[in-house]
Amino acid sequence: MPPPSVLSDFSATVGESLLHVRPIYIVAGLCAWISWRILYRLVLWPRFLSPLRIVPGPPLGGIIAGQFPAIIQGEAGIPQREWVKQHGSAVRVVGPLGIERLIYTKADTLHKILVSEWMEHPRPGFLREILGFVAGYGLLTVTGTEHKQMRKAMNPAFSIPNLMAQTDMYYDPIHNLVRILNEQIDGETEPSKGKVIHMYEWMSKVTLDIICETAFGYRTDSLNNPHNALSEAYEDLLNLQSGKNIAEFILLASIPGFKRFINSDWAYNHRHWFAKSSLLAPMSIALDAMHRIKKISAEMLAEKTKDNAVALSDTEAKRDIMSLLVRARNADLAIKSGYTMTDQQMMDQVLTFLGAGHETTASGLAWTLWLLANNKGHQDELRKELKPIFENNPRPEYRTLKDLTWLDGVVMESLRLLPPVPMTFRQAGKTDYIEGVLVPKGTMLYIPIRVVNTWKEIWGEDAEEFRPLRWQSLPKAYTPTLSFLSFIAGPHACIGKTMAVMEMKAVLAALIANFEFEPAYEGQVAQPTAAVTMKPADHMPLRVKRFL
Ligand code: HEM
């Protein structure tokens, strides 16, 4: 046995050399592992190993970007519609970084994903991050049991009797809008020729004023105030919507800890640093806009909580949605029932109503005006139906508006053809067979709202045409929940659907009764943005004339 001194000399030498060698091995090992992961993710999995290879679809595309360029350069939902036409009702598309997504259009499959097994197919993390940042971590982002409880607490506020009672609240903003458009036209040198007006901007203001009134009992009056703080903040935020910015956001959101970082005071206080990098500049604008929106939302909520603190038995209490939620929470707290929303959750709901209920309805209205401007015959028929009603009563109530044939057909047809939310995503929460193919846990499922809404197998050969009267005799293949997906289906279906449709009807009815709409110039084409919501990129200029 060698003496201990020799042993210690030996181990010291080995240790020393290991100390020198180990970092190289570690770095080399790390490099090899990263290279292997990259090779596996980008090449081996999508091209040779994935069980989804048997699902038909377009070519895989470039190794890094896949079909992503086609997706973001095309109109939202249109490349997917072409792929379904070419490859059938189940399509596999490889997106960026080798990530596969499946598109299913058959009612049975959509029922499984959205309705019967909705808990096993949650919204994917990246979508929850985007929605949570701009629309609060409320109903739009919670999943499973928490979602069930929150939705149960909120459903009564969206009941039909409550919405009926709210309809009259729409009319002050609507009448403001009609007056402003009249003034704008009268300000022209030749008022009879009308005026080209960016209608999306006005739809955004009127829907902001209506949602603030009906959801919070809060008067924003952005229609009369061009520099309204809330409306300017949303404008800044919504102008960031582009395929490129969303892709960058998804990339950043995949970094662990991103949610905490982006919602921290530090990120807001240092936002000017991000403005210096072209990649992070949109983040700086978004942080600034969200800070302003959160500040105003907190004020609205504080006013509500103060208002309703003593209102448990007050029959004259306000009927806006937030008042109902605050009163319901107070009642739950009083009887110590199981589930009550925390202050933070209430705050998130304020952001959710603003984020989910404002721009979607504005885009829906703008697209409806676009379709009518390009279909004069349908516009005339609608006006014929509306004129006598408005001559009788300038504030028609819920029941009157609900049952009008042309008004209903035009709104539903517009939401079908140009849905403000053209697609959404789910993720396979477990490995399971869908349409006979083993779909690995984690696979992205593209919910093809615009594709299904215009699928010829359901809607017939004229599926892509604007024909409002089709809602009077729906095709045989139509199923109420899964043929028209604009508000999707199942437990995550839009809670504001009835409210949105009623609001669109009230605004549109008043506009069509008072004005005529035409394209702003010859050859004008629609310019939908390809992002989370589909708004007109050009803010929809239309020629607006008084209807006398
Ligand atoms: C034309 C207008 C609207 C359209 C097209 C629309 C569409 C949608 C869609 C497609 C979803 C499902 C998103 C997903 O699961 O990924 C959704 C969810 C939701 N919408 Fe709407 N929406 C509209 C108006 C509104 C309004 C006015 C409100 C409320 C004031 C609202 C509140 C919500 C909420 C809270 C959710 C989440 C529901 C849940 O997960 O339980 N929406 N909406």
Long-range CB contacts (within 8 A, 24+) of 467-474: 467/413, 468/378, 468/382, 468/406, 468/409, 468/410, 468/412, 468/413, 469/405, 469/409, 470/409, 470/413, 471/408, 471/409, 471/412, 471/413, 472/405, 472/409
Amino acid letter for position 273: W
Question: pLDDT-derived band of residue 338, with 50, 70 and 90 as boundaries?
Answer: low
Question: How many Cα atoms sit within 13 Å of 455 on the Cβ side?
Answer: 26
Residue nearest to atom 37 of ligand 1 (CA): 140
Question: pLDDT-derived band of residue 436, with 50, 70 and 90 as boundaries?
Answer: very high
| Strand pairing category for 100-104 and 90-94 | antiparallel
Q: Pick the residue with more confidence: 476 or 22? A: 476
Q: How far is the CA of 24 from the centre of ligand 1 (A)?
A: 53
Q: How far is the CA of 188 from the centre of ligand 1 (A)?
A: 39
Contact (Cβ atoms closer than 8 angstroms) between residue 401 and residue 407: yes
DSSP bridge partners of 437: 434
Most confidently predicted of 33-42, 126-135, 303-312, 514-523 = 514-523
In this structure, of 71-85, 245-259, 398-412, the range with the lowest mean pLDDT score is 245-259
Contact (Cβ atoms closer than 8 angstroms) between residue 170 and residue 403: no
Q: How far is the CA of 123 from the centre of ligand 1 (A)?
A: 13
Burial of 522 (0-12, 13-18, 19+ CB in 10 A): exposed
User: In degrees, to the nearest 5, what angle opens at C-alpha 454 toward C-alphas 369 and 91?
Assistant: 135
C-alpha 257: how far from its chain's center? 24
CA–CA distances in Å: residue 447 to residues 100, 244, 504 = 14, 20, 24
% of the chain with per-residue pLDDT over 70: 92
Instruction: Name the phi and psi angles at 94, rounded to 5.
Output: -95, 120
Give the pLDDT confidence of 96-112 residue by residue, as tens digits.
Answer: 888 999 999 999 999 99
Residue nearest to atom 2 of ligand 1 (CA): 361
Ligand 1 lined by 414 (C-beta under 6 Å):
no
Ligand 1 lined by 353 (C-beta under 6 Å):
yes
Q: Which two tokens stand for residue 448?
A: 């093809």
Distance, in Å, from the CA atom of 521 to the CA atom of 31, rounded to the nearest integer, reads 58
Ligand 1 lined by 546 (C-beta under 6 Å):
no
Question: pLDDT-derived band of residue 307, with 50, 70 and 90 as boundaries?
Answer: low
Distance, in Å, from the CA atom of 528 to the CA atom of 536, rounded to the nearest integer, reads 5
pLDDT value of residue 374: 98
Q: How far is the CA of 493 from the centre of ligand 1 (A)?
A: 7
**312 pLDDT more than 50:** no
Residue nearest to atom 43 of ligand 1 (CA): 494
Q: How far is the CA of 492 from the centre of ligand 1 (A)?
A: 8
| pLDDT (mean) for 25-39 | 88
Q: What is the DSSP string of 307-322?
A: HHTT-TT-TT---SHH
Give the pLDDT confidence of 239-278 residue by residue, as tens digits.
Answer: 777 777 777 777 777 777 887 888 888 888 888 888 888 7
pLDDT value of residue 1: 46
Ligand 1 lined by 356 (C-beta under 6 Å):
yes
Ligand 1 lined by 382 (C-beta under 6 Å):
no
Ligand 1 lined by 364 (C-beta under 6 Å):
yes
Ligand 1 lined by 123 (C-beta under 6 Å):
yes
**309 pLDDT more than 60:** no
pLDDT value of residue 23: 78
Q: How far is the CA of 427 from the centre of ligand 1 (A)?
A: 19
Q: Which two tokens stand for residue 117?
A: 């097994």
Give the pLDDT confidence of 349-377 residue by residue, as tens digits.
Answer: 888 888 888 999 999 999 999 999 999 99
Q: How far is the CA of 128 from the centre of ligand 1 (A)?
A: 14
Q: Pick the residue with more confidence: 10 or 60? A: 60
% of the chain with per-residue pLDDT over 90: 52
Ligand 1 lined by 118 (C-beta under 6 Å):
no
Question: pLDDT-derived band of residue 5, with 50, 70 and 90 as boundaries?
Answer: low
| pLDDT (mean) for 14-42 | 79
Q: Which atom of ligand 1 is nearest to the CA of 425?
A: 16
Buried b / exposed e along 13-42 (16+ C-beta atoms within 10 A): eeeeeeeeeeeeeeeeeeeeeeeeeeeeeb
